[in-house]
Chain A
Amino acid sequence: MQVNEEFVPTIVAFCCNWCSYAGADLSGTNRLPYPANVKIIRVPCSCRVNPTFILRAFQRGADGVIICGCHPGDCHYTTGNYYTRRRMTLLFSMLDYLGIERARTRVEWVSAAEGQKFAETMRSFVKDVTALGPNRRLEDLRCRKD
């Protein structure tokens, strides 16, 4: 695939309020940079992320979607992240079948204390998605910006 040097992907990050959203705040407090094209949506738990949100993001032109939740066993609601893990495993394999490459979707466990890990995860995710180039497979061209 041809990689466009100028390409800046649009990344949607769903972050659990109790862990990774706080982790993202901590990476801010510690001034640990990650690319500005990552935009965070706060959810009460990673299990709040409906697969339709991810499909919607890809339709609307997102190039990558990442879901961050609490480490297995640490869910604020006891079992939410286990649901996320199961749901997303199925969704991501279906998306792969539809032509949305695996590297465009990710589930990561980031605790409230892992600001460093949050920033590193975002850097590596943006790098992976940038290497893939723009998402064209699911994008609804009627929603195109330009």
Chain B
Amino acid sequence: MQKIGVFVCHCGTNIAATVDVKAVVDALAKEPSVVFAADYPYMCSESGQNLIKDAIREHELTGVVICSCSPRMHEVTFRRAAASAGLNPYLVEVANIREQCSWIHKDKAEATEKAIILGRAAIAKALLNAPLIAGESPVTKRALVIGGGIAGIQTALDIAEAGFPVDIVEQKPTIGGKMAQIDKTFPTLDCSACILTPKMVECAQNENIRIFSYSEVESVSGFVGSFTVKIRKKARYVDEVKCTGCGLCTEKCPVKNVPNEFNLGFDNRRAVYIPFAQAIPKIAVIDPDRCNMLKNGKCGLCSRVCEAGAINYKQTDEIVEEHYGAIVAATGYEISDVTRYGEYAYTESKDVITSLEFERLTNAAGPTGGVLLRPSDGKHPHTIVFIQCVGSRCVLEKGKPYCSKICCMYTAKHAMLTREKYPDTEVYVFYIDVRTPGKNFDEFYRRAAEEFGVHYIKGAVGKIVPRADGTLDVQAADLIMDEQLRISADLVVLAAAIEPSKTARKLATMLTASMDTNDFFTEAHPKLRPVESPTAGIFLSGVCQGPKDIPETVSQAGACAAKVIGLLSKNKLTGNPCVAHSDELMCNGCSSCANVCPYGAITYLDKEFRMPDRTTKVRRVASVNPAVCQGCGACTVACPSGAMDLSGFSNSQIMAEVDAICR
């Protein structure tokens, strides 16, 4: 005889304001097998949990139904409470009467009726629950960090510091990411390279860290605790071990006209190159699209000058297979395409640039040695117009609906630094809103506007027309003064929206990690689990999860590392016991289930069966490996004889829920 206890939560007024909790308790108490029903203001609180525990012991409950918030929120809490009272945790069911009832319905009678029906469905399911025991799986004590920007670097350093080995996979020839290209950082105006490069060096020197630069993740399989990852190490045509990073090859290479990606094409590099002076690892790379030797076998100069004998034109891509317990996505961002905004004349004029290009033009290690010069004629600009929200907060198809978060602050930084270094330059900033939440951020912006005399204009630039004399005719509206403005500018800087890396979507598919509509990775819970993906064992660091500045990225990277360390310090992981199992008496060994299983969890055994006439017969039957099965249930539907079922979501349980809802 089943004894079910029903517990209805008020959630303060979150549920109780639209659902008549007492009426729900009364209705559910009348359901068959329900021996106890109660309500409580906060069921997840300690006293609420004690109410559940006491009832389990006192009434010898065989099942528990909690009508509360989403099971994605507190199912684990209630399962733990049940377990501590001696009830198998998988005998607990949660009816979602908050997110899927009280919060979406206004009419109290309607919401109460729905809550009762959801409660009945949960009772019907709970009556068919079976105690389940979770299996254990081992943990590979090594982490993979995908992306070698500041987020990936900080996460890797923190994990390595705790004593766990960690690998960084970076698609570019060097780690460092976008922060390496930035000149100064707000709001303290630290030199970006001065604070980043020591961390890069630390990565190279830490014996727990391995860097796979110029490499990409090829495939990911497995699950939390034991992932298998194939990494493609792209051919550099330079022996990583032999190369000393002396740079002689990069000076002698005769191909001199390759646009330099690091300086965003403002100057040129050779076909064999080291991205920048402080690159980690400092190993040359040959660009196969531009190298004469690789294209038509004519040159070989670099090979002749290399004293270490590191040049190897016959090198090919190498695939390495590694095992990891946890994977961190730190794929960062890219600057969105500003050519979609024809009104800003980005493609027509060299003097319309993006903010990242402005960083390179003011960077001491940049193409101009830090002297701000116009890209078109190399002259000093006397009037600079900054335009914010280019593509951000834009509801049109070509733009991004979100705020890129960093642009207000870096534009204030650019404007301030320009005025400081070149007081003769007039600086205008067009903005929709200035958003400066953050420690010392608003003070920084006010200094730019008040102390440094930057002209902040609330308004929008409608059109930029390049004139024959080289100036730019900026046509804009001042929304506060309600007037049309025309500014003759020498340089226009676009604060382009940031967007997730183009590689992120492909990676998310490999990791089976979910993404939002803007291709940012989704976190398991926006407030309570912000650095974890809903997929177990996948963690999120930096801008791949949402726009962030450097201080936020570094703190998130540390939080992410803490979660990874927590996982790797366990010797065994408790698995999910809601896995498939086959009824050997019904199974006819047809292979339909194995054909649809994405994990190869189903194998076949030849088993001896006793027949009614007392003879024995050997039959082929399906057998599920519970350690490999992830519990999707694809096999249960594919099985023609109905032999496959899924624990926790069995055929009879879902049928019972359907019946309860349609009753």
Contacts and interface: CB of A to CB of B under 8 A. Distances in A.
Nearest to A45: B632
Given A44-B646, A50-B651, A36 B633 contact: no
6 contacts: A27-B104, A28-B98, A48-B633, A56-B655, A76-B534, A113-B514
B117 to A, nearest CB: 6
B663 A25 contact: no
Contacts of B509: 73-74
Contacts of A73: 509
A137 B228 CA distance: 51
Interface in A11-63: 12, 17-19, 21-22, 24-29, 31-34, 36-37, 39-45, 47-53, 56-57, 60-62
Interface residues of B, number: 53
A45 B514 contact: no
A77 B100 CA distance: 25
Contacts of B517: 111, 113-114
Contacts of B71: 42
A12 to B, nearest CB: 6
A10 interface: yes
A95 interface: no
Contacts of B100: 24-25, 28, 40
A18 B662 contact: no
A33 B105 contact: yes
A83 interface: yes
Contacts of A112: 514, 516, 522, 534
Given A41-B121, A48-B636, A50-B651, A113 B104 contact: no
Given A36-B101, A48-B646, A61-B662, 20 more contacts: A12-B661, A22-B72, A28-B70, A28-B104, A29-B99, A39-B117, A40-B100, A42-B96, A48-B654, A52-B651, A56-B655, A57-B658, A77-B632, A78-B512, A83-B637, A83-B638, A111-B522, A113-B514, A113-B515, A113-B516
Interface in B580-607: 596, 598
Interface of A: 10, 12, 17-19, 21-22, 24-29, 31-34, 36-37, 39-45, 47-53, 56-57, 60-62, 70, 73-80, 83, 87, 111-114, 119, 143, 145
Nearest to A21: B72
A34 B106 CA distance: 10
B335 to A, nearest CB: 23
B110 interface: yes
B515 A74 contact: yes
B276 to A, nearest CB: 36
A60 B663 contact: yes
Contacts of B418: none
B197 interface: no
Classify the interface of chain B: helix, strand, loop or mixed: helix
Give 6 closest A-B pairs by Cβ, nearest first.
A28-B99, A48-B633, A113-B516, A60-B662, A77-B632, A28-B103
A43 B648 CA distance: 10
B174 interface: no
B388 interface: no
A127 B161 CA distance: 58
A31 B99 CA distance: 8
Nearest to B535: A76
Contact of A79 (B101, B104, B111, B598): B598
A145 B663 contact: yes
A75 B517 CA distance: 15
Contacts of A37: 114
B503 to A, nearest CB: 15
Contacts of B512: 74-78
B183 interface: no
A50 B657 CA distance: 13
Contact of B634 (A21, A29, A70, A83): A83
Nearest to A87: B637
A47 B639 CA distance: 12
Contact of A10 (B101, B596, B661): B661
A75 B633 CA distance: 13
B464 interface: no
Contact of A12 (B514, B522, B658): B658
Contacts of A47: 596, 632-634, 637
Contacts of A21: 70, 72
Contacts of A114: 517
Interface in B423-473: none
A77 B121 contact: no
B654 A41 contact: yes
A61 B662 CA distance: 6
A33 B106 CA distance: 8
A39 B637 contact: no
Contacts of A19: 514
A45 B662 contact: no
B649 interface: yes
B637 A51 contact: yes
A45 B633 contact: yes
A111 B516 CA distance: 7
Contacts of B107: 36
A138 B596 CA distance: 30
Contact of B121 (A32, A39, A62, A70): A39
B523 to A, nearest CB: 10
B24 to A, nearest CB: 14
Interface string B508-535: 1100101111000010000000000011
B514 A74 contact: yes
Contacts of B106: 33
B659 A60 contact: yes
Contacts of A74: 508-509, 512, 514-515
Given A43-B649, A113-B522, A36 B105 contact: yes
B176 interface: no
A34 B638 CA distance: 33
Contacts of A78: 512, 598
B661 A41 contact: yes
B514 A44 contact: no
A38 to B, nearest CB: 9
B514 A53 contact: no
Given A25-B100, A74-B509, A111-B517, A44 B662 contact: no
A119 B522 CA distance: 19
A28 B587 CA distance: 42
Interface string B624-658: 00000011111011100000001001010011011
A80 B99 contact: no
